[in-house]
Copies of this chain bind each other. A is one copy, B any other.
Amino acid sequence: MAQFLAATAPYDRAKAVVYGLPMDWTVAYRPGCRLGPDAVREASWGLEEFCPSLGRGMADSAGCDAGDAPLPAGDVEGSLKIVEQAAERFLRDNKFPVFLGGEHLLTLGTVRPFFARYPDLALVQLDAHADLREEYQGRRLSHATVMRRLSEVLPPGSLYQVGVRSATQEEVEYAAALGSLVPGGVLQAMKALLPELARRPLYVSLDIDVADPAFAPGTGSPEPGGPSSAELLEALSLLGRVRLVGFDLVEVAPPYDPSGITAYLAARVVRDVLLLVA
């Protein structure tokens, strides 16, 4: 019910649209990321509309918070269909979308229309986990299989996986065949990718668990050993130099973070992205 900080433009006039996707139907261990969108919106009001390091302010962005998608609880296919239709609408209306998850499976719905529109699109996934399993707990549609499903339909060479530090042996082998894993830390990897990414439209999918759990404890699958929030924010600031066409931020699970810092980090990321694309 809340709105994201300063994203108060009417839909028609807005360049960027914040859209909540409160789904966590396939989360295995620690559910609750369906509560993520509202927590991120609420935390956003603790930030400023201006970013000193980017030197830009929200007033310029003409962002619109379009609320949450009406996702049917417990209906994976139905939810993905709604998500996909929303992405298609934003593309049709020439909006830059920032999708607020919800679980990572959502990216299956958000990203497919972008590949339809931009055949040379690059997809950068920032994530502690590879999400390349063939199936998980008996299901082919899961937060742990989302990049596998995408890899089956995307053009070769379009997926870049950054920050991955958890994967099964099978996932590592599959990723090696794909050539998707970008070595090194998040900032180092993003810097290395920049020349290549600069030539293509780009969609970024950020799983908040890419940050070390100290910086984002409120998530479903904390994986120690990740970057700090400072490093992550610096890496994302590089997106100002590429042609970003879509963004999602997923897996913020407020029940596991009574301090609320995960939502603050997520809100900061979203605000910075809105500033970068304004």
Hey, which bits of chain A sit against chain B, CB under 8 A?
Answer: 1-3, 24-32, 34-35, 42, 45-50, 52-53, 57, 70, 72-76, 105, 130, 137-139, 141-142, 164-169, 172, 212-215, 217-218, 221-230, 233, 255-261, 264-265, 268
21 A-B residue contacts at CB 8 Å? Answer: A1-B2, A2-B2, A24-B31, A28-B73, A31-B34, A31-B35, A32-B255, A47-B223, A50-B172, A52-B130, A52-B166, A53-B165, A72-B138, A73-B142, A74-B76, A212-B230, A214-B228, A224-B261, A226-B230, A255-B255, A256-B260
How many copies of this kind of chain does the complex include? Answer: 6
A228 to B214, CA, bound (A): 9
Quick check: A223 and B264 within 8 Å, CB to CB?
Answer: yes
What is the bound-complex CA distance between A224 and B52, given in angstroms?
13
A165 to B47, CA, bound (A): 11
Chain B residue nearest in CB terms to A217: B259
CA distance A45 to B76 in the complex (A): 24
Which of B52, B141, B166 interacts with A165 by CB under 8 Å? B52
What residue in chain B is nearest A31 (Cβ atoms)? B31
Say yes or no: A48-B166 contact (C-beta < 8 A), given A215-B214, A229-B225, A261-B217: yes
Q: Chain B residue with minimal CB distance to A215? A: B214
Contacts of A2 in B (CB 8 A): 1-2
Which residue from chain B places its CB closest to the CB of A34 in the assembled complex? B31
User: Smallest CB–CB gap between A5 and chain B, Å?
Assistant: 10
CB distance from A48 to the nearest CB of B (A): 5
Which of B52, B74, B217, B261 has a CB less than 8 Å from the CB of A26? B74
- Complexed CA–CA distance, A164 and B142 (Å): 36
Give chain B nearest CB distance to A6 CB in angstroms.
12
